[in-house]
Amino acid sequence: MTDLKNKTALVTGASRGIGAATAKALAGAGAHVILVARTSGGLEAVEEEIHEAGGSATIAPLDLTDGDSIARLAAAVRERWPALDILVLNAAMLGSLTPVTQIEAKELSQVMTLNFLAQQALIGALDPALRKSEAGRLIALTSSVGRNPRAYWGAYGASKAAFETLVEAYGEEVRNTSGVRVAIVDPGATATRMRQNAYPGEDQAELKPPEAVGDYIRDMLTGDFETGTRVRVEE
């Protein structure tokens, strides 16, 4: 996939941070981007920026923890576009950073629901549209704590470990039966709201901006990669 013109992309968590930056980068490369997040105000602002830059986007405000909403989203994609060429799974929640022994069951359920269960629902619902593309691509955003456990990050790390296993298994399932390819991207230390919540004393001016990650993902998609690719964005 060397040209994103006439391609359709869907980005979750697109109202701010890495999701918004990725959506704008893909739109700048010619793709029509479906912007998904809970907050319509943030989505509208991103959509306006894309349109002002000459790009094309559609907003889809919805709660990804609601399975019915995901089903309706997939139905809308199927009815409006012939295929889904790009799916960027970016939406996630951090939860509290706390010892494993003190993780609250309710919050753990919320973290796992968005970071893992909703991701499976999205893949399942949008798989037919991805398969209709000549070169469907799925990019999953992860964190280093998914493979390298860190004290107090047990809930978030466990959700990302489960997410990575799910995505990699899906990649193997579609490897020989479709044109879909799957990659995992670890954005590394990036100036986002989630990062600020995790490290409140950190100077975000010293971190790379979300746009660096968005541009990296755009370059992956305008180039090529094999299923199983896993990268970390260092700069």
Question: In the prediction, which pLDDT does 3 show?
Answer: 80
Q: Known catalytic residue: 170?
A: no
Q: Which bin fits 210, alpha (ψ -120 to 50), beta or left (φ > 0)?
A: alpha
Q: Which two tokens stand for residue 170?
A: 């899906």
Measured distance CA(181)–CA(162) in Å, rounded = 19
Kindly name the residue from 152, 156, 170, 199 that is annotated as catalytic: 156
Name the nearest CA neighbour of 17 among 91, 87, 86, 73: 91
Structural domain boundaries in the chain: 8-232
Bridge partners (DSSP) listed for residue 13: none
Share of the chain above pLDDT 90, in %: 97
- Which H/E stretch holds residue 97? none
Could you report the per-residue pLDDT of 122-141, keeping only the tens digit for each?
999 999 999 999 999 999 99
Please say if the pLDDT value at position 1 is more than 90: no
- Which H/E stretch holds residue 38? none
Amino acid at 225: F
Q: In 3-state terms, what secondary structure has residue 190?
A: strand
Could you give the angle at the alpha carbon of 76 between the alpha carbons of 71 and 81, nearest 5°? 130
Q: Which CATH superfamily is domain 8-232 in?
A: NAD(P)-binding Rossmann-like Domain (3.40.50.720)
Measured distance CA(58)–CA(69) in Å, rounded = 16
The model's confidence at residue 203, banded by pLDDT at 50, 70 and 90, is very high
Could you report the per-residue pLDDT of 143-177, keeping only the tens digit for each?
999 999 999 999 999 999 999 999 999 999 999 99
The model's confidence at residue 67, banded by pLDDT at 50, 70 and 90, is confident
What's the whole-number mean pLDDT along residues 182-201?
Answer: 96
Q: Which two tokens stand for residue 211?
A: 């746009």
Measured distance CA(209)–CA(204) in Å, rounded = 9
Could you report the per-residue pLDDT of 20-53, keeping only the tens digit for each?
999 999 999 999 999 999 999 999 999 999 999 9
Q: What Cα–Cα distance (Å) separates residue 113 from each residue in 14, 105, 169, 196?
A: 18, 12, 19, 22
Measured distance CA(184)–CA(209) in Å, rounded = 19
